[in-house]
Structure 1
Amino acid sequence: MTARLHAAEDGPADACVLVLGPSLGTDTGLFDPQVAEFARTHRVIRYDLRGHGGSEVVPGPCTMADLAGDVLALLDSWGVERFCCAGVSIGGAIGQQLALTVPDRLEKLAIIASAAQFTDPPSWVVRAAQVREQGTEVLVPSRTGTWFTARWADEEPAAADRLLAMMRATPAEGYAACCEAIGAFDVRDRLGEIAAPTLLVAGAEDPATTVDMVRLLADSIPDSRFRVVPGAAHLPNATHSQAVNAALRDHFGD
């Protein structure tokens, strides 16, 4: 079942399309720094994952193919045929799925703090059950050190609170269903099929998708480049936007 996604659009309607896919437990606001940079030159489309932000909550488990199908349905409804894509964490996994599902439509891909298989797959089913029972608030304390470093949170408390508010606002079922998609995701044996020129970005201090996990993607995708952002954890596009934007600009061009 395809979910109706909430999305935001910025930039010239006739420009090249850049689709931005968010991390688990965040919403379109995660990409405010990228919109500020790219809406001058691209038609930027940001979406909320199913069950996140303003998107429809669809009960039950789903797969990464389902989440990619949601994005394609959105793009089809807006008349978008060819596009570039950048995604963070699960958004990067959706980008991989799109590259494998519709290679003729994807021009370039950027994968930020993501993996071809996420750490400890069975734990994601456990997390899903925990969130269904206790809500997303139970995970908020662990985001410091995962999404961003404690040092960054001390230096940017308002920005940290803004990101944590996204987690608190995420419906439990939406978060849990996407956890199950993450736990079932494994395209390690298909990375060589990704034909789109691909940029890989890792946070040097990311405990969730480590530098080595992101490097595996770079080593396995044929036409790829790899960047590490010093001082960044799992949401480098939000916490270290200048460095990430520069890498994205170099990859996607003007």
Structure 2
Amino acid sequence: MGCIRTGKGPVLVLVHGFLSGLSYWHKQVENFSSHFDVIALDLPGYGGETRTTGPARIEDFADCVLHQLDKLGVENFYLMGHSMGGMIAQEIALKAPDRVTRLVLYCTGPNGRLPGRFEPLEESIRKVCERGTEEPARYTVPTWFTLGTEDPDCQEGIEMALQVSRQTYINGLKAMGGWSAEQRLGSIRAQTLVLWADRDRTYMWQQPEALWKGIKGANLAVIPQCAHNAHLEKSHVFNQIVFDFINRRDG
């Protein structure tokens, strides 16, 4: 797994989502690196790791992240996951509860089948199998931005998605569709922030609501007038919310 590490302060691990890569976090790495030892990872099959085939199970992604952190000598860390990366983050928090200090679950949910998504996962898989990845990537990524293709970060997102192989694309959709934490949320012990954008077309409100209600003591923040990639659309607001949560003194 490829990664970047800034090397200052307590460790903050960033886990990207489907069709993305560590470069998706560039506005967060720039902001947080003066306060944290930021570790952003390319998941297998994505970003700079497209020569490998991504796994078809969320649990396997979580194991890959934990293995990489072990190699880096990281024991305890703050953890933020976006979209599919938020599912991976939930799995990490369940697998290694003593290592995750605080948890940010961003535009994600506990139901991997993504009820209410702009199209069912099965339809996306069918299109990729029949037509390849280019057409689905070109219409999927714009749904992550309020302005669609007019957003200045959209084209880079499309180009990154186009680098993902057909099998990794299919495996990622299958990984999400075959995973759920709905019955396990009560076992997440880390202090948690659920962060959602009110125009997200991938994770409908019932998903962050389930996280907020299912994880004991979870905090909730909603960024208005943003879509699935709020961390790019309104990075200043996003970064401040995350920073305040991580640095909050309870009691």
TM-score w.r.t. length of structure 2? 0.90
How far does the alpha carbon of each residue in 1:137-156 deviate from its partner, in whole angstroms, 9 at most, with x for none? 11212332x20113x653x3
How far does the alpha carbon of each residue in 1:42-93 deviate from its partner, in whole angstroms, 9 at most, with x for none? 1111111211112265558521110000101111111111111101101111
Structure 2 residue 207 is matched with structure 1 residue 213: yes
Structure 2 residue 128 is matched with structure 1 residue 131: yes
Query: Among 8, 15, 18, which residue is 2:4 paired with?
Result: 8
Unpaired stretches in structure 2, ≥5 consecutive residues: none
Aligned-pair CA distance for 1:133: 4.5
Between the two proteins, the alignment pairs up a number of residues equal to 244
Matches of 1:47 and 1:176 in 2, distance apart?
A: 21
Residue 111 of structure 1 is matched in structure 2 by 105
Percent identity over the alignment is: 28
- Over the residues paired in the alignment, what is the CA RMSD in angstroms? 2.1
Structure 2 residue 143 is matched with structure 1 residue 149: no
How far does the alpha carbon of each residue in 1:111-140 deviate from its partner, in whole angstroms, 9 at most, with x for none? 000010032499435533532443331121
Could you say what secondary structure the match of 1:188 adopts? coil
Matching residue's letter, 1:78:
L
Structure 2 residue 187 is matched with structure 1 residue 189: no
Query: Among 38, 42, 45, which residue is 1:44 paired with?
Result: 38
Q: Structure 1 pair 33/252, CA: closer, same or farther in 2 (3 Å)?
A: same
Residue 92 of structure 1 is matched in structure 2 by 86
Contact 1:52 1:175 in 2 (8 A): no
Unpaired stretches in structure 1, ≥5 consecutive residues: none
Query: Among 164, 182, 189, which residue is 2:158 paired with?
Result: 164
Residue 66 of structure 1 is matched in structure 2 by 60
Contact 1:21 1:88 in 2 (8 A): yes
Structure 2 residue 227 is matched with structure 1 residue 229: no
Q: Structure 1 pair 240/135, CA: closer, same or farther in 2 (3 Å)?
A: farther
